[in-house]
Each structure stands twice: as structure tokens, then as C-alpha cells.
Amino acid sequence: MPPTVVTTTPLSFAPAAAVARIAAASRRTQQPQSGGDLVSLAMGEPDFDTPRQVTEAAEAALHAGRTHYSPLLGEPALREALAEKLTGIAASPISPADLLITQGGTAGLAASILAIVGPGDKVVIPDPTYSLYADLVSMAGGVVVPVPLAPDLHWDLDRLADALDGARLFVFCNPGNPTGIVHSRAELEALADLLDGTSTLVVSDEAYADLDFTGRPFTSALSLDGLRDRTVYCQTFSKSYAMTGWRVGYLWGPTPLIQAAARIHNTFNGSVNTVAQDAALVAVRTCGPDIARMRAEYETRREIMRTELAKIPGLTLSSPEGAFYQFPRYDLDLPSAEVVAALRTTYGVAVRPGSEFGARGEGHLRLSYAASAESVVEGVRRLADGLTALRAHRTHQ
């Protein structure tokens, strides 16, 4: 008997308005990992393995039967350890009751933005910045107000002051993705002054806090009296501990903000993976030397990347103050998405287009030095070849 052929009518489906809003706002792109002959300087994740004692803790937790639901706010021992750590950073008592363990930094950002922003609310973000913020604000129905950075990629405080007028929320990351800039204590104090007397809230995403190469101590928004009471602090284990795949992050903030964020987070995610939280607890308790080791390695690669980039004519280098990114500006009259596509297909190097991070990112490339020193050298060499060829091609057109 011949097989029965089942025909289906194509589904006529219009996604929910929130999906359309995200799609309309989103600048996010997926970039390939290194493989074959491609050298990737595109990835926003450590190339290190998670420290061994952390993976061992996860194994032990599994064997100990830690396979049940965790409390909705997170494991009490982890929240206590994090509250102790944050008390040191804030130099002010931080209660574990106001800590929420999240499904990575992404869900922490989502929970805080969706808990704060309603339809029509104005949300100020730097331009360029991490592209997830605009997507989340759009999901919530808020209005994104991008504020161009100053030419040195720090905040332009005059423009920021104008934009913040009547804003519900200001979201930023420090150290910055994609800029690699670190906002100083003076800048954060200036922000606190701008917000004084207003009801504008702040989300401070400090995912790269352990990667500050300025030589100054890193200033968390938590440590400023003028910011702490209006700020949701968003953190992740992904970068400092090389734990991107484990999906553990956390939020701290004033009690009503954390309760609201917890409501969203629990609704979306339920509780966070118990084994991953047990591993994260070991990471907080023991990984100081691992963080220092990886940081030293990034610092070496950062210098290598800077030296190699400085040899390329037509590039204006950014100041590589922190995170693991450099954000040079190129002088070709070509959109960054086109430059990136040509670099990948013809020259075998993957980087990120600056336009992915905001309209003002156009004309820049984001290079990650969370890649081996050899990849950094080879990737920048290919970048140099590619830019030289693209320039020659343009001048002969």
C-alpha cells in the first residue's frame, strides 16, 4: 500500500504584539565561533573552562540528590554569601532578603526591566550599549531613548541630563559592552546628581566588574549613597567565573523593586537550577585566585590587541579600560555590517558590527579579546588585510 500523504494547511499566525515590537527594535545578531579557518574575535564569552572545583561541586550536588526545586528567590546559602560580598562592595549592609537569584544576567535584566517599565514609559540607554536593553524595553512597551556617548565613549552628561528629564529608568553597563569603557566614580556621582530629586530608577549591569584595567578601584553603583536607593544591581556568574553555560545571575535592589522583579522572574522561570546554584556558591567562596588568573590573561591579550590594532592605518582606537572588548572606529565609508560580512567571508575573521549596539555604534567594530593570544594576533592581522583591501577597492571604484 502506498504511504498515506498527510497534507497540512500552512498555519496563518501573527505573533503577539510583544514579539513584533522586539523584532522591530532588535539589532542583535548571531556570530559564529572560531572553527575551520575562521578566527573569531566576535564572542562575548570567556574562552576559559569553568574552574574545576566549581564543576566538581556540581557533580557532588547531583550525587547528593540535589535535584529538586530550589526556593523561588534562590538558595538561601548562596543569597547569604552574595549579600556578604555585596555588603563589602556597597560598604553598607545588604540583606539576603533583597537578593534574587536569576537565570543568568539575561533573566535578571529581563525581570528588572519588565518589573519597572510599562507601556509608554521612557527608558534612557546609552548609544551604543548592550543590545538586550532596548529589546526588553520594547517587549515591555516602553519607549527607548538612546543617548549618544561622547567621542571618548564616556557619557555625554549634558545630553544625558536632557534625556533623563521625565524618564522612568536609566539602564547602563559598567564596564561597558561594546565600548570597553569604565565609568569612574566621578561619572557615577555626576549621574547621582542628575537624578537627585527625581523618581527615575536605575539598572546598573555590572557583568564585567572584575575586569577593570584602569588601575583605579572599580566603583559599583551600589557604593554611592546617591544611587543605591534607586538602583537595581544586576550581576552574573557568566563572565568573572567563566560560567556562561550555567545560567546563574542575581539581582539586588530596594525591597519593593526586588519583590516586583521576583514576581516577573518566578512567572517566567520558576526557580533556578539547584545544582548550578550549589556550584555558584563554591564559585563565590573559592574562585578569587581563578578570577585573578583569568584577569591577568585578559590584560596581556588586551595589550597585544591594542599594539596590533595601533599598526592599522585608518583606525581610531578606543581606550581599553575594561570588560574584554575594544571598539575601534574605522574611516571607510561603509556600514559596519557590510565590513563585518566581508571580513568574515573573504578574510576569515569574525568581529561584531558596531551598529548592532545602537545607531551611534555605526562606523565601529567590536573586537573581543576573550580569545587566545594567537587568535588575537592572527585575527587582527586578518582585520588589517581586510581593511586595507576594502580601502583599496573603494578608492578604485
Ligand X SMILES: Cc1ncc(COP(=O)(O)O)c(C=O)c1O
SS3 call for 364: strand
Letters for 21-40 (x = contact with ligand X by CB under 6 A, - = none) are --------------------
Q: Which is nearer to ligand X, 61 or 276 (CB)?
A: 276
Q: Which is nearer to ligand X, 175 or 386 (CB)?
A: 175
**Contacts for 135 with CB less than 8 Å, ≥ 6 apart:** 22, 25, 26, 28
- Tell me which of 41, 90, 164, 207 binds ligand X, using CB under 6 A: 207
Q: Which is nearer to ligand X, 236 or 312 (CB)?
A: 236
- Tell me which of 244, 259, 319, 372 binds ligand X, using CB under 6 A: 244
Q: Which is nearer to ligand X, 99 or 390 (CB)?
A: 99
Q: Which is nearer to ligand X, 31 or 387 (CB)?
A: 31
Q: Which is nearer to ligand X, 105 or 328 (CB)?
A: 105
Give me the least distance between CB of 312 and ligand X, in Å please: 25
**Residue 46 lies near ligand X (rule: CB under 6 A):** no
**Residue 249 lies near ligand X (rule: CB under 6 A):** yes
Binders of ligand X among residues 69 to 128 (CB under 6 A) are 104-106
Residue 188 in contact with residue 218, Cβ under 8 Å?
Answer: no
Give the DSSP letter of residue 165: T
Whole-number Å distance between alpha carbons of 123 and 200: 9
Letters for 135-154 (x = contact with ligand X by CB under 6 A, - = none) are --------------------
**Residue 205 lies near ligand X (rule: CB under 6 A):** yes
Whole-number Å distance between alpha carbons of 108 and 268: 11
Q: Which is nearer to ligand X, 245 or 256 (CB)?
A: 245
Whole-number Å distance between alpha carbons of 1 and 296: 69
Binders of ligand X among residues 334 to 363 (CB under 6 A) are none
- Tell me which of 40, 138, 231, 236 binds ligand X, using CB under 6 A: 236
Whole-number Å distance between alpha carbons of 356 and 364: 10
Whole-number Å distance between alpha carbons of 36 and 206: 34
**Residue 200 lies near ligand X (rule: CB under 6 A):** no
**Residue 106: closest CA among 279, 283, 246:** 246
Whole-number Å distance between alpha carbons of 30 and 142: 25
**Contacts for 12 with CB less than 8 Å, ≥ 6 apart:** none
Whole-number Å distance between alpha carbons of 123 and 150: 19
Residue 150 in contact with residue 319, Cβ under 8 Å?
Answer: no
Binders of ligand X among residues 268 to 297 (CB under 6 A) are none
Residues forming contacts to ligand X in the complex (CB under 6 A) are 44, 104-106, 130, 173, 177, 205, 207, 236, 238, 244, 249
